[in-house]
Structures are given as C-alpha cells and as structure tokens.
Structure 1
Amino acid sequence: MDLTIGKLAKACDINVETIRYYQRIGLMRVPETKQSYRYYHQQDLETLSFIQKAKDAGLQLNEIKELLTLNLDDRIQVRQVIEQRLSKIDERIQELQGLKQRLATWLDDCKSTENDCCPILIELKQQA
C-alpha cells in the first residue's frame, strides 16, 4: 500500500503539517522520493496510529519518541516512561487543585463582601 502524504493524513484524520512536524522531530521517517512523490506504507500508518493513541493517553511527544524506539519485550523501560508521566500528572493535579482552591476562595470573598469594590481585583492589583 503506497500512500501520498495527503492520503496518509486523511486516513489518520490529521493534518499534513502534523506529519511533517513529526518527521522534523524524528517521530516518523521521511520516505524516499519516487517519481517526485514520497510514498508512505503500512508501517507509517501504524506509527501514526501509535502516536495518536499515546497522545490520547496523555503522553508527551518526547515520551512517545522514546517508546517508539523500544521493543515489545522492553517492559522495564516502558514502565519507567509511564511511571514518570504519572508522576508529572500527579504534580499537575496538585497545582490545579491549588489554583482551584485560590479561585474558589476569591469567589467566596466576592460573594460575601458587602463592599462595592471587587475583592478579586483588589487582590490582583496588590503589589507583591
């Protein structure tokens, strides 16, 4: 199966520029040119599918690149990549919970104050 970049993009429901970007950063191979066209194969379709599934699972492109280099029996390395991602997700969740608490507090202050001035804007305009 030989596909042009446009047909490959359509088959995977992504933009041609996304494929080119993946090639620039080394996630995908750049096929040889034949008759002024670059033709992609089943392997390229599978690589794009892998990338999309990994992105949908929350993995970053650098992590996906690392996973693409591993073999099916490289379980320890795969686990390390996933454990690191989980750790980063936990850190982000804590950050977001802190932001949520700050905004909720501001909202409560805004609802409960009888002052004409907005306590949120007062807080934001205060100099550090």
Structure 2
Amino acid sequence: MNIGNVAQALDMPAKTIRYYESIGLVTPKRSQNDYRHYRPSDVHKLGFVGRARSLGFSVEDCRVLLALYEDKDRASADVRKLAGEHLARIDAKLAELATMRETLAHLVECCAGDTRPDCPILADLAGAPDAV
C-alpha cells in the first residue's frame, strides 16, 4: 500500500504516518524510486499506535506498547503496569480539571455580567487580594 491508501484506511493524516516513520515506529519498504510501500504488518502497527494515541498514550508509551505487543514472551503485568500508570495520570488530570471547573463556575456565578466595569473574573485573574 502507498501512504495515501494507508492514510485513508486508518483515517490518519499522511503527515502523521511520515512522523511515525521518522521516529522509527514503522519502517516501510522503499521501492527503487524511493516510494514507501506499507506491508500489512506496517498498517497494523500504525493502527495499533493510532488506537493507543486515541487513548492518550504518549509516543514513547506507544513505542513500549509496540515492543511488548511484538514480544510473545512478555508478561501481561508489564502491560498492565504501563496502562495503570497512564490511567493514574488521566485520573490526576480529571481531578485537576474538576478543580478548575469548580473555580471558574464560582467566578462566573459571582460576575454580574452587566454594564458595570468591575468584574470578579478579571480581579481573580489579576490576583487581586479581595477578589471574590
């Protein structure tokens, strides 16, 4: 398959596929005229990485996951550990977002939103001591 066919099949930009090649996640064969030719195994790897990225795994995590996937002697505990660490990062981010939301909701509630110039949202962002 050429890069256009792979991009369409995986719904992944060709630029992303080239990037994954440049960092060594996939190594397609090259024809004499230097065109990329993606084997089914390359397409599978790209799909694997795309799915992992959609779950928020970093590129380096994807590299480790691919290595684990290809290692038939792997321990599932290694995969679980990596996924568990990622899940903990997601949970921490969700807690951070919940705190941000709570603060912003309070500021929006305190703002009259009328024609007066005073605004508790701007006061808080400016670090005013008596804001809200």
Q: Which runs of 4+ in 1 moved over 4 A?
A: none
Distance apart, 1:9 and its partner CA: 1.4
2: distance between equivalents of 1:62 and 1:99? 28
Task: State the alpha-carbon separation in 2 of the partners of residues 28 and 111 from structure 1.
Answer: 55
* TM superposition shift of 1:46: 0.5
Mapped to 1, the partners of 2:3 and 2:21 lie a distance apart of: 12
**Which residue pairs with 2:63 in the alignment?**
65
Equivalent position of 2:30 in the other structure: 33
Q: How many angstroms does 1:106 deviate by?
A: 0.5
CA distance in 1, matches of 2:117, 2:17: 54
1:50-83 CA distance string (max 9 Å, x none)? 1122122232221111100012543011011101
Give the alignment of 1:38-53 within 5 angstroms. 38-53=36-51
TM alignment of 1:97-108, pairs within 5 A? 97-108=98-109
Percent identity of paired positions between Structure 1 and Structure 2 = 33
1:1-128 matched pairs, under 5 angstroms: 3-29=1-27, 31-36=28-33, 37-70=35-68, 71-72=71-72, 73-111=74-112, 117-126=118-127
Using CA pairs under 8 Å that are at least 6 residues apart, name the structure with larger relative contact order, 1 or 2: 1
Unaligned runs of 5+ in 2: none
* Separation in structure 1 between the aligned mates of residue 92 and residue 127 of structure 2, nearest angstrom: 28
CA RMSD across the alignment: 2.3
Q: Distance in 2 between matches of 1:121 and 1:62?
A: 39
